[in-house]
Amino acid sequence: MVDLEKEKKEILEAYKGLLKAAKHSKKDPATKKRIRKAFDLALEAHKDMRRKSGEPYIYHPIAVARICAEEIGLGATSMICALLHDTVEDTRITLEDIENIFGKKEALIIDGLTKISGVVDYNVSLQAENFRKILLTLSEDVRVILIKIADRLHNMRTIGSMRRDKQLKIASETLFLYAPLAHRLGLHSIKSELEDLSLQCQEPEMFEEIQTKLEKTQAVRERFISKFSSPIKKSLEEKGMKFEIKGRPKSIYSIWNKMNKKNVPFEEVYDLFAIRIIIDSESEDTEKSDCWQAYSVVTDYYQPNIERLRDWVSAPKANGYESLHTTVMSPTGKWVEVQIRTRRMDDIAEKGFAAHWKYKEGGAESQFDIWINQVRELLENSEGNALDLIDDFKLNLFAEEIYVFTPEGDMKSLPYGSSALDFAFAVHTQVGSSCLGAKVNNKLVPLSYTLTSGDQVEILTSTKQKPKEDWLNYVKTHRAKSRIKSSLKEERKEIAKEGQLMLDKEFKKNKISYENISLKTMQTYYKVSSPIELYYQIATGKIKLKGLKEFDIKNGLVRLKRGIQNRVQKYLIPKRSSSKKGMPKNDVLVFGDNMEKLDYKLASCCNPIPGDEVFGFITINEGIKVHKTNCSNAVQLMSNYAYRIIKTRWIDESKMEFLTGLKIIGIDDKGIVNNITQVISNELNVNMRSLNFDSHDGIFDGTVMVFVQDISHLSNLISKLLKVKGVQRVDRIDKIG
């Protein structure tokens, strides 16, 4: 039985907590009154609604408003909109009501939130085709996206009440879009928490393992930080500087990411934490010199790794991040990252653009406007595939930046890994389109030359030059890609016109009426995506018009001949799964809510075996493919194609054998290969398909392909192999072949 009185008290307590977070409301009774009015309206509108957890729905908008105020640093307008963000979508309240009660700005923001609620929703997974709507809203008023990020953060914090398959889709979407957006908007803490919560959802055991190990090593870390910081602290105090030194552990997600990328265990991730020096500068004018003075003190005591110095004080990141990063060698022989920044810089690093506005009204917005203009440009020049749009956008969201200069000394910021051709398009579209090559630091380089920070670049052009297909391999920025694609598309259209004329001529010759022809039939037969591509391939000779004999032409109507139609149909319909050894039969997996037995293939990118957590993905040409939920492709598939994901579960109806791979590393010793094969073949009766070992300087590195029944069978095998003398590591290989 629900205790309504108790709930009422809890709701009022939550509201009081919100008011405490709204520091500005204490000094302004009118603001406090407006927030109260929004709270009362939301409370009444949602009074009969409950969340999946069973708690009153109003807890959610209160929590979102509090995140906006406390963790992002937004003002009263955003808090009001956060309290009301679901009312227009879910209740009888209209935008007109919002405008009449609060004003035009609040109505516009809530309209933006409502427009994308069906796109970026707790219950609906994001689809690439709708991504443009989010970006359009972002370019209108950034507060819409900031509130939406706060909304997603609270939903991720309370995701435990959702069904497992929904959790996975939402976590994938969060990693795919929200964490990069938070990163680009300078919300470092929120970005890290979103990543951690997503990992906790996707790989709970691994998350818990890293968390436990961090907790166990916390006391050791604290002692190390205290000892490491002691001489620095003393020296800074002698210089009369006011400061704070603290150790900050790396996020669990970043540790997991490093373990994965470098293929090392937790114990071998050396930078588990960073030491942060936060300086209380007297004014912004002294901030830069204060940071370098602190850097000088740190490097007086500890040897720096010059290659790891990052100066974002002189050249801040595009998201406003300012800090000096250096990596120094500690007395214990471990590298330690030290971050040096002022109090203002630290606030901006945690709260992003909202903090910029707090410190300098309009100052940071000019930098933000540059990025917003890039978003608008990206939308205006984006045609066709929405997935390409997302890939390009995410590339520019996440990429580290480099700073390069024109011959006149103007600085341009580009994503890390950009080429001379990217720089040319950054200068001007015409410069990029007519680019022949470049001079970097007065040396002639090709278009594909990768730039580094500090390069001075002069672009060489020719009026006879025009974009080529292979240019797309040389560029990273969306601006360059979109301009090249647009130019190639125009050229392709011109060539396609010639192909259409050739086809017209052939049709007239065969007395085929254009009204009766099914171009779709021809596209299917020739495996092309559009009429333009059909015409283009005719013009370039890839499609020979004598191939029209494959079609029946009766009364001016074109159809595929019956035998050929069957062959095409056979190509389009996925084949049934083979039942050969190492391939699944129909009774190993079941799909959907009704748990039906369907034909499927195991994805080669992650090679799942029974016991792995998996999902089914309906492909266009290959039927159902089964992937592990932690497959490298899972995030993209779940985010962009949620409607093609189906629940999948292993059933124990047959003891099949599945092919998987093991990578074994150890100290080379006489007879070790024989000992390994003895364990595999004789002790455990596991069948091997292949064995490959290489030895170098006393270390061996081997790959063994084996057939196992399920995850426990594989775990047992790994456990036994680790007991073989000389074996140091055994890792499963997901990608085979």
Tens-digit pLDDT profile for residues 428-476: 889 999 998 899 988 999 889 999 888 899 999 988 888 988 899 989 8
Backbone angles phi, psi at 341, to 5 degrees: -155, 165
Residue with tokens 């309206």, as numbered in its chain: 41
C-alpha triplet 193, 304, 318: angle, nearest 5°: 45
Per-residue pLDDT reduced to its tens digit, 105-141: 899 888 888 766 554 443 333 444 455 555 665 656 7
Q: Which burial class, exposed, middle or buried, applies to 361 when counting CB atoms under 10 A from its CB (0-12, 13-18, 19+)?
A: exposed
Q: What angle do CA 328, 334, 335 make, to 5 degrees?
A: 30
pLDDT at position 574, please? 38
Diameter of the chain by CA atoms?
A: 98
b/e per residue 132-171 (b: at least 16 CB within 10 A): bebbbbbbbbbbbbbbbbbbbbbbbebbeebeebbbbbbb
Q: How far apart are CA 235 and CA 217, in angstroms?
A: 28
Question: Do 628 and 685 form a contact (C-beta atoms < 8 A)?
Answer: no
The CATH architecture one would assign to domain 4-162 is Orthogonal Bundle (1.10)
Domain with CATH 3.30.70.260 in the chain: 658-733
Tell me the percentage of the chain whose pLDDT exceeds 90.
24
pLDDT, mean over the chain: 81
Q: How far apart are CA 701 and CA 695, in angstroms?
A: 6
Single out the catalytic residue among 7, 55, 70, 89. Answer: 89
Residue 192 carries which side chain, given as an amino acid letter?
Answer: S
Which pLDDT score, from 0 to 100, does residue 397 have?
54
Question: Catalytic: which of 90, 165, 391, 701?
Answer: 90
Location of each CATH 3.30.460.10 domain in the chain: 211-359
Q: Both tokens of residue 611?
A: 């016991």
Q: How many helices (DSSP H) and strands (DSSP E) are in the chain?
A: 30, 22
Q: What angle do CA 564, 527, 502 make, to 5 degrees?
A: 90
Q: Which residues pair with 404 in a beta bridge?
A: 412
Q: What do you get for the CA distance between the two ends of the chain, in Å?
A: 58
Which two three-digit tokens encode residue 476?
């990273």
- Which amino acid is present at 57? Y
Check if 491 is active-site: no
What residue type is assigned to position 628 of the chain? K
Q: Using CB atoms within 10 Å of the CB of residue 427, give its burial: 0 to 12 exposed, 13 to 18 middle, 19+ buried.
A: middle
b (16+ CB within 10 A) / e for 612-628 = bbbbbbbeeeebbbbbb
Q: How far apart are CA 436 and CA 460, in angstroms?
A: 6
- The whole-number pLDDT of residue 423 equals 94
> What is the pLDDT at residue 572?
37
* Residue 649 confidence (pLDDT): 85
Q: What is the pTM of this model?
A: 0.69
DSSP state of 52: T
Per the rule left: phi > 0, alpha: psi between -120 and 50, beta: everything else, 184 is alpha
Could you read off the pLDDT of 479-517 as tens digits, one per residue? 888 888 888 888 888 888 998 888 888 777 766 665 555
Whether 147 and 61 have beta carbons less than 8 Å apart is answered as no
pLDDT value for 576: 40
What span, in angstroms and rounded, lies between the C-alpha atoms of 278 and 323? Answer: 10
Please check whether the domain covering 658-733 is classified as CATH 3.40.190.10: no
Q: DSSP class of residue 493?
A: H
Whether 147 and 80 have beta carbons less than 8 Å apart is answered as no
Neighbours of 488 (CB within 10 A): 16
pLDDT (0 to 100) of residue 347 = 85
* Spatial separation of the C-alpha atoms in residues 345 and 352, rounded to whole Å: 10
* CA distances in angstroms from 379 to 128, 418, 482, 669, listed in the order given: 14, 21, 10, 60
Q: State how far the Cα of 45 lies from the Cα of 86, in Å rounded to an integer.
A: 10
Nearest to 408 by CA among 459, 463, 462, 479: 459
392 is catalytic: no
For the chain, residues classed under CATH 1.10.3210.10 are 4-162
Closest C-alpha to 681, from 712, 717, 653, 650: 717
Q: Which fold has domain 211-359?
A: Beta Polymerase; domain 2 (3.30.460)
Residue type, 178: Y
The segments of the chain whose pLDDT lies below 70 read: 1-2, 24-26, 115-140, 353-400, 510-521, 546-587, 594, 652-655, 683, 736-737
- Name residues whose C-beta falls within 8 Å of residue 685's C-beta, 6 or more positions apart in sequence: none
Tokens of 209: 């393992």
